[in-house]
Structure 1
Amino acid sequence: MSQTPSKPARNGLSDAYRAVWRWHFYAGLFVMPVLMLMALTGAMYLFKPEIEDAVYRDMAVVQPGARTVSPDRWVASAERNGGTASSVLVSDRPDRAVRVTVRQDGESRIAFVDPYSAALNGTVQGDGVMGVVKGLHSLTLLGKPFNILVEIVAGWAIILVATGIFLWWPRWRDAAVAVPRAGDPARRPFWRDLHAVTGLYAGGVIVFLALTGMPWSAVWGDKFLNVVRESGLGRPAAPPAASPWAHGEGHDAPAGVGWTMENAVMHANGDHSGHVMPSLSRVIRTARAEDMPLPYTVSIPSDPTLAYTVAHAAVRAEDARSLYVDGVTGAVKADIRWSQFGVGAKAFEWGIAVHQGTQYGWANRIVMLSGCIAVWLLGISGLIMWWKRRPSRGGLGAPTAPPGPRARAAVLGIVLPLAVLFPLTGLSLIAALALDWTIRRVRR
């Protein structure tokens, strides 16, 4: 005899509730460790300027002088131990060294050069400490294929929030709490309330972080970027007098230009017969004449026929600006500003700036940090709740799978739209359903 799905089961929980609870449990079990790693590294990246200033202070701080030397001497100093300079970060502070990224034999290093004397103050291998943090955050430090986990984890993070709201929602029983109720931390209800309230107030921030992190994912991010570009909602068209956009990879990919102009390069039209060589000094003179605000990054292409790219290190999305300058003549090939971006590009550039905590100052940073802390609170409280109700005979102790189509419909109604929107999340859902079916067959 089957039980009516709409009625509560004998333990006081409806079939739909137990089904959603089961998937909430599994999603947290498999996704939360990676999500906690991303929250930790994301919280560190919010304080990137402060961390770098503390770590590299001995190399980064210089004594301001009357005038800087030729920028070409900065490059020569950075290349003293071999390699080729690919970009130069010019600070907006007069007491800071310029940072020259040098590539050699497939590796890279950052050289700190005194802009007033061209003295080499020191070097850092790779992309520095924050490069390691960023690699961990995007999971590319474990290998580029691991970047696909960003999309999977982000999709399941949204599922966690959605199923959590379903479980929190007030019903015939007292399940919804807006503030933690007084209780004994040694007992499970205390941690259940803390878990529920944290998810209630931080769920929106967590979903926002997951969605705005998608542009960095290996599959969805690239596909969506192409759609936005091809629909005319992304990067602006090249100026009529300039060459069309080209795609730059590796050394030629411009640095600091943001998501919209990623890999966008432009051919220069100057004399490249070898009589006049491209010059960083000439490019920086043009940037100063065009009132390019500091700080900015100058990308030095390995292909001499490509234009140099000068990208403002904007704090707010609407301050984005990129100059494309002929390194031979110093002529401006393109001056790309926020007003020229399509609506899709503006939306994502704004989302990324908020994601990184820079768009609205300290208030923005604190809200994003609260989301990162909430992920850890949710993970720890969930682990404690599981520990207090773990089965004495071993096993995961997942909520039992209830029978009936309504129970399955409750789960699919939450996760299926997200699985369609994020294909890799959908594939992982199919794998999870197969695993769940196998577990239930083995138990029978």
Structure 2
Amino acid sequence: MSGAYRAVWRWHFYAGVIVMPFLMLLALTGGLYLFKDEIDQLAHRRMIQIAPSAARAAPEAWIASAAKAGGGRAANLLLPAAPDQAVKVRVDRPDGAQKMVFVDPHTARVTGVIDDGGVTETIKKLHSLSLLGGTTGTTLNILIEIVAGWTIVLCATGLHLWWPRRRQGAVLIPRETDARRRPFWRDLHALVGLYVGGVVLFLAVTGMPWSAVWGDQVMGVVKASGWGRPPAPVAGAWQKAEHHDHPAGAGWTMEGVVLPSPSHGRLDLTGVVAAAAAHDLPRPYTVSIPAQPGTAYTVTAQVRRVQDSRTLYIDPARGAVLADIGFERFGPGAKAIEWGIYTHQGTQFGQINRLIMLAGCLGVWLLGVSGLMMWWKRRPPSLSRARPGVSLGAPTAPPGPRVRAAVLGIVIPLCILYPLTGLSLVTVLLLDFAARRLMRRRPAVS
């Protein structure tokens, strides 16, 4: 076994130890979130399903009922596409809590109240590692960038280890072997990595826009360069939305900003819905209700394909549409990132898209289990008396310039592409170097 091969194997091992627990959590929650609509229907069916009717209450009655039931201000509402589904209204309470209120659009009767987002919102926050919220949630979300970078290390080193050498043929199907032996798990691990590794890599890269550091920086660069959000169509630039006015469902490119209105006043919600209908905005769509005067309503279509993305900004005083922003107006950077997000979420190419993403999530678990089984079958007889440098069962670190070149070839590109991942790689390198020096100095046990 060459020194370079052992070095790559060693880093594949360490990458798996560091990233796999988090990656398996992301795969589990991501796999569940692919079935968001089905989970919502199962968990909240009695609140969502209503009797269809030709009658319809005024939208003002919807938000009045929701505000009373939720104990706060109606911040946004989702108008469903089907007449047998309730309107969902998010209510912001004075204590900072948010509630989701289901309202029958035909009668304005409240059919249920839950915490905002329900079950799938909890799954989403687990997936982004931001469940705790606040500073702690942001700190945990930073792990997204680190995990994504280490996943790239896993995929690159795994492909190198699988690649056929000399007279050894490529392993493309499982070889006949006993499931109790390590070769079985090695073949399973290699083949799952080969067939779903590209999907896992795609999920890691396209998940980066949500990371707390890299995602925010890239968002700023893309939008500042003119490759992202289109210019504001009226006098005055886009304004950063305050927390209570953050537009719901606006997507990566248009999230976090609102459009100021040239006139002051308050249009009733009936006028907003009528304006959206007059501009042929298909349902379902979300209406964000501004709390501050002089801010336009943000009305965003909830679509499954990125090219159907569309957001209207409606003057709260006159009902005029100030801007109609579709996908075709995005810059090339925003288009690429938005396409990656929709594909990541399994909606861009229909059911086959969802199944391929699900295969990637299941593959992560198979890789984790098979990797653990391989380690278990080759673990040191006694971890406390293992040979220096292999106390965890990792291959020894061979010396030599080729090995250093291989390690630097991994570290330097990732330091440039993902700084937090690069920092974690440098940290592991230093710890590994210090541990090996310490083990060499330790006196041998007779």
Superposition pairs of residues 26-425 of structure 1, within 5 angstroms:
26-81=14-69, 82-104=71-93, 105-142=95-132, 143-172=137-166, 174=168, 176-239=170-233, 241-272=234-265, 277-394=266-383, 395-425=391-421
Distance in 2 separating the partners of 1:282 and 1:204: 48
Cα contact 1:278–1:304 (8 A) shared by 2: no
Give SS of 1:80's match. helix
Give SS of 2:291's match. coil
Cα contact 1:108–1:127 (8 A) shared by 2: no
Cα contact 2:128–2:210 (8 A) shared by 1: yes
Specify whether residues 327 and 67 from structure 1 end up closer, same or farther in structure 2 by C-alpha distance, changes over 3 A only: farther
* Higher mean C-alpha deviation, range 120-129 or range 370-379: 120-129
Match of 1:432 in 2: 428
Q: How many residues matched?
A: 427
What is the TM-score of this pair, normalised by structure 2?
A: 0.94
Cα contact 2:314–2:322 (8 A) shared by 1: yes
Distance in 2 separating the partners of 1:242 and 1:85: 28
Kindly state the Cα deviation for residue 242 of structure 1 after the two structures are TM-superposed: 4.8
Cα contact 2:306–2:348 (8 A) shared by 1: yes
Match of 1:4 in 2: none
Specify whether residues 415 and 196 from structure 1 end up closer, same or farther in structure 2 by C-alpha distance, changes over 3 A only: farther
Specify whether residues 265 and 232 from structure 1 end up closer, same or farther in structure 2 by C-alpha distance, changes over 3 A only: same
Distance in 2 separating the partners of 1:175 and 1:213: 34
Give SS of 2:75's match. strand
Distance in 2 separating the partners of 1:403 and 1:161: 24
Cα contact 1:259–1:349 (8 A) shared by 2: yes
- The alignment-based identity, stated in percent, is 58
Distance in 2 separating the partners of 1:263 and 1:191: 47
Offset from partner CA, 1:349-392 (integer Å, 9 cap, x none): 11101000000000100111111111111000000000001111
Kindly state the Cα deviation for residue 401 of structure 1 after the two structures are TM-superposed: 0.9
Distance in 2 separating the partners of 1:251 and 1:128: 19
Offset from partner CA, 1:324-360 (integer Å, 9 cap, x none): 0112221111110111111111111111010000000
Offset from partner CA, 1:395-444 (integer Å, 9 cap, x none): 41111111112112122213421221000100101111111112101210
Distance in 1 separating the partners of 2:198 and 2:296: 42
Distance in 1 separating the partners of 2:169 and 2:411: 22
Cα contact 1:168–1:175 (8 A) shared by 2: no
Distance in 2 separating the partners of 1:144 and 1:68: 42
Distance in 1 separating the partners of 2:352 and 2:11: 34
Cα contact 2:264–2:293 (8 A) shared by 1: no
Offset from partner CA, 1:54-105 (integer Å, 9 cap, x none): 1110000011111321111111001114211111001101100000001112
Kindly state the Cα deviation for residue 280 of structure 1 after the two structures are TM-superposed: 1.8
Give SS of 1:56's match. helix
Specify whether residues 103 and 282 from structure 1 end up closer, same or farther in structure 2 by C-alpha distance, changes over 3 A only: same
Cα contact 2:78–2:87 (8 A) shared by 1: yes
Give SS of 1:310's match. strand
Offset from partner CA, 1:281-338 (integer Å, 9 cap, x none): 2211111111110100001111121101000001100000000011222111111011
Q: Which amino acid aligns with 2:381?
A: S
Q: Which amino acid aligns with 1:318?
A: Q
5+ residue gaps, structure 1, are: 1-12
What is the TM-score of this pair, normalised by structure 1?
A: 0.94
